[in-house]
Amino acid sequence: MENFRNYETGDIALEDGVNVFIGENAQGKTNALEAIYFLAMGKSHRTAKDSECIRSTASRASIRGEITVKEHPHTLQIDITPNGKRASVNGVSQSKMTDFLGHFQVVLFAPEDLQLVKGSPGVRRRFIDMELGQTHPKYLYHLTQYNRVLQQRNTLLKQATVDWDYIGVFDEQLAEHGAEVTLRRHRFIEEMKKYASDIHEHIAHGRETLCIAYQPSIRTESDFTLETVTSLTSQYLRLLQTKRQQDFQTRHTTVGPHRDDMAFFIDDQSVQSFASQGQQRTVALAIRLAEIEFIHQEVGDYPVLLLDDVLSELDDQRQTNLIISMHDRVQTVITTTSLAPFHGMLEGQMRLFHVHSGIITG
Ligand X SMILES: Nc1ncnc2c1ncn2[C@@H]1O[C@H](COP(=O)(O)OP(=O)(O)OP(=O)(O)O)[C@@H](O)[C@H]1O
Comparison of 111 and 168: residue with beta carbon closer to ligand X? 111
Least Å from the CB of residue 80 to ligand X: 10
Torsion of CA 32, 35, 41, 44, to 10 degrees: 90
- Per-residue contact string for residues 8-47; x = within reach of ligand X by CB under 6 A: ---------------x-xxxxxxx----------------
- Asked whether residue 196 is marked as a ligand-binding residue, the answer is no
The answer to the question of residue 6 lying near ligand X (CB under 6 A) is yes
The answer to the question of residue 309 lying near ligand X (CB under 6 A) is yes
Least Å from the CB of residue 50 to ligand X: 11
Least Å from the CB of residue 46 to ligand X: 8
- Give the C-alpha separation, 266 to 158, whole Å: 42
Question: Which of 77, 43, 80, 44 shows the shortest CA–CA distance to 60?
Answer: 80
- Asked whether residue 27 is marked as a ligand-binding residue, the answer is yes
- Asked whether residue 81 is marked as a ligand-binding residue, the answer is no
- Asked whether residue 24 is marked as a ligand-binding residue, the answer is yes
The answer to the question of residue 337 lying near ligand X (CB under 6 A) is yes
Comparison of 1 and 140: residue with beta carbon closer to ligand X? 1
- Asked whether residue 28 is marked as a ligand-binding residue, the answer is yes
Taking each helix axis from N to C end, the angle separating 316-327 and 164-203, rounded to the nearest 10 degrees, works out to 110
> What is the distance in angstroms between the CA of the first residue and the CA of the last residue of the chain?
16
Count other C-beta atoms under 10 Å from residue 255's C-beta.
20
Question: Which of 288, 248, 253, 283 shows the shortest CA–CA distance to 265?
Answer: 283
Least Å from the CB of residue 337 to ligand X: 5
Least Å from the CB of residue 7 to ligand X: 8
Binding residue count for ligand X, defined by CB under 6 A:
18
Query: What is the side-by-side strand order in the sheet with 210-215?
Result: 210-215, 261-266, 269-270
> Sign of the CA dihedral 348, 350, 351, 353?
negative
- Asked whether residue 23 is marked as a ligand-binding residue, the answer is yes
> Sign of the CA dihedral 28, 31, 36, 37?
positive
The answer to the question of residue 5 lying near ligand X (CB under 6 A) is yes
Q: Annotate 164-183 with b (16+ C-beta within 10 A) or e (fewer).
A: eeebeebbebbbbbbbbbbb
Comparison of 54 and 322: residue with beta carbon closer to ligand X? 54
Q: Which residues are annotated as a binding site for ATP?
A: 23-30
Annotated binding site: 23-30
List of residues contacting ligand X (CB under 6 A):
5-6, 23, 25-31, 52, 54-56, 309, 335, 337, 355
